[in-house]
Amino acid sequence: MSLRALILHNFWLKLFSLALATVIWLAIHYSIHDDNENQSLTPQYIRVPLSVKTHDGDKFRITPNEVVVTAVGKDPILFQSTQKQIRVNLDLTDFKATEATSEKLKAYAPEDIIVLEILPSSVEVQRVMP
């Protein structure tokens, strides 16, 4: 069989197969590229002091007084500049207990940062009598 016959025999089937193979290769290539981009989000561990909201004159003993926040962000440079904007709040304006109790914490971060975890997730709060 000559080279010309090899190329021209079932030419449209061969051309279709080549086009389909190219489309499949491109789909896999860009899928792998997107997966690698998403995996580049490495968690950052940031020590954050607690921000406590109370009434004037109320005093509390909070243990611990700072927590570790696990967060991820897409752009590392942007993430470093917004680390200081991550806040962990504890609202004690409605605190009525006289004994030590455990209170849940809430984290607030800019839109481009995702808070994954707060360690510890709650703190022990005890009212201090003057």
- Surface-to-core class of residue 54, CB atoms within 10 Å of its CB (0-12 exposed, 13-18 middle, 19+ buried): middle
Mean predicted confidence (pLDDT) in 38-55: 75
Spans of all domains in the chain: 3-39, 44-127
What are 97-103's contacts with CB under 8 Å, separation 24+? 97/125, 97/127, 98/127, 99/126, 100/124, 100/125, 100/126, 101/125, 101/126
Q: Work out the pLDDT band at 12, boundaries 50, 70, 90.
A: very high
In this prediction, what percent of the chain has a pLDDT beyond 90? Answer: 14
Nearest to 90 by CA among 49, 44, 129: 49
Place of tokens 């481009």: 112
Q: Out of 3.90.550.10, 2.170.120.30, 2.40.50.140, 3.50.50.60, select the CATH number for domain 44-127.
A: 2.170.120.30
Judge whether residue 40 has pLDDT over 60. Answer: no
Arithmetic mean of pLDDT, 25-31: 89
Tens of pLDDT, residues 63-113:
888 888 888 776 665 556 555 678 888 887 787 777 778 888 888 888 777
Question: The tokens of 83 are what?
Answer: 């680390």
- In the prediction, which pLDDT does 107 show? 87
Amino acid, single-letter form, for residue 63: T
